[in-house]
Structure 1
């Protein structure tokens, strides 16, 4: 445990670690926000101070990702799970097809929701391999008249991640980037839409970021509930209804933190170093630890592994918790171990985990 500030080594998969500097700034501003005499949680979302916060967060996101002018940026609610429904509701017409690339539980959930609105199909799936890998680009065959192709960029449960995205040509590529958004540079122009829950790399839970190309909005279905239309939120600058004001404030401060760290290229390099420290402990263990994901599909955000001797796994997790590691249990659906190394998890935490893994192995080998 880091005794200097009494904080744990937080490897939770989400809600997850936030930058300490951001938390400390929020603490200072919590009761009296910048001389207003109110907390950010008390002020109107129509007020000038909040308008500055809201628009500032959008501007920072646009700057960090170099988002082209033909894309809208929205802050919505309902998490990525609501987007599973909103996407086909807006963009998939009855009788129309959309391709879903299956790489884990979240793509499964997205596909099931799409079945309520059109005729989605599986482009490819690695379920038969327990979702240990991402499909190769050669496996992907799309229908030229697909409304869109959907992909999950990073799979928190299985610890896999796309390193190169498919080229879908004229078909809009829609990506759920909930667990690796803001972790590295990406070319926004390759996507028709990107969406992400904030609770991994962007801020606290409660905010969902949507980056959507304007031409998709022009063709969207209109015979759907008002609050579920993307156009409604574009027209209202994401203020059609009361937004999660504190969450948006925090998101803006996290984006400011990313800027201060040197931007996405620096963040990406840091994430590579952090992940390598833990993967090295797995790879150099002579089979004491086994990774779930294949080498070419490994995630830099969620490192999933097992203790090969399953009788030791509970002891490993128990002893890790005793010395200050939090969130190392694998997802309840698959078990095992998982270290989520999102942007705000410091290198020191990853090195401490790696050292603990080596020590545990030496004690029980």
Structure 2
């Protein structure tokens, strides 16, 4: 239904960022937010879903039961050819909630907070190794990717020794330019690998998240394939998102040293927590927009989204809405932006957000405290950004101290 319009004059999505402004949403999104907050855009396949740019409208739609996250729906606005569902995030209730509850307890705030000493040790050990290594170095490999990979491997009980394998296949899956065939091959490799680990946990369980999934399989509550899909989702989301946020956030703060100093010098955990949320508001690594499809007609922002029409909700521009955040294009670590949409909103908001927040709080503050003279070791213009990825960030970040 979304491809029946005359697409002449309909802007293409995603839109390019302005040259020299890699932290900001595309200027065209700001124009649309101000002039046409609900408008059609054209995707790679010629379909024309609705683009929603205002913060309030996104929150409204993300909690509307008439909006579906089902990636198998025939008019779901896919990000790329063969862009398949990853477990429960591409489903609707009640199946979405049933599967999400199976792993939800591992990410409850109190349980995640109990991980703080272990995560702190991982961060400290990683910085020790970085300081003992070459100077300059690539912060992505030496720290940003290392820390969340170690954390999620520990949580799942996936051998970190296999990190080259799962990181490489993850990069393939989240690269917009990967062909459907290459993406399917990477997905299959990860599924085969994690499927073997789940099968071992069914027979020999431990105290880890894969064992919890294995117990669900043994009890008949979850198929082996379903458990494997969930494990793939948790492994990819558990290291890629936080890794990109650590590196991208560090680069942004190096460009705003007075803000980095605020985070480095405070001893107040509430200020650190709020600062992390401001970084999550200012920077958006999920820059392709959340995708949904209307199940019924929905009237919003003076328009009617008809049943079967796709919806794209880019949180990067919603988090820069001046109606919600004064001076939105400035990092202000004293701001309290708790209603940002970096983790989504409603029933599909990110399950792992307590863990991501914990890792970012520890990683940012510890890194900047222990290496107070951290600096960029290349020209800012030479830093390679992931404009071609479903997850935004930098491919490498040369730093020195």
TM superposition score category, shorter chain reference: under 0.3
* Structure with greater strand share of residues: 1
TM-score (ref. length: structure 2): 0.25
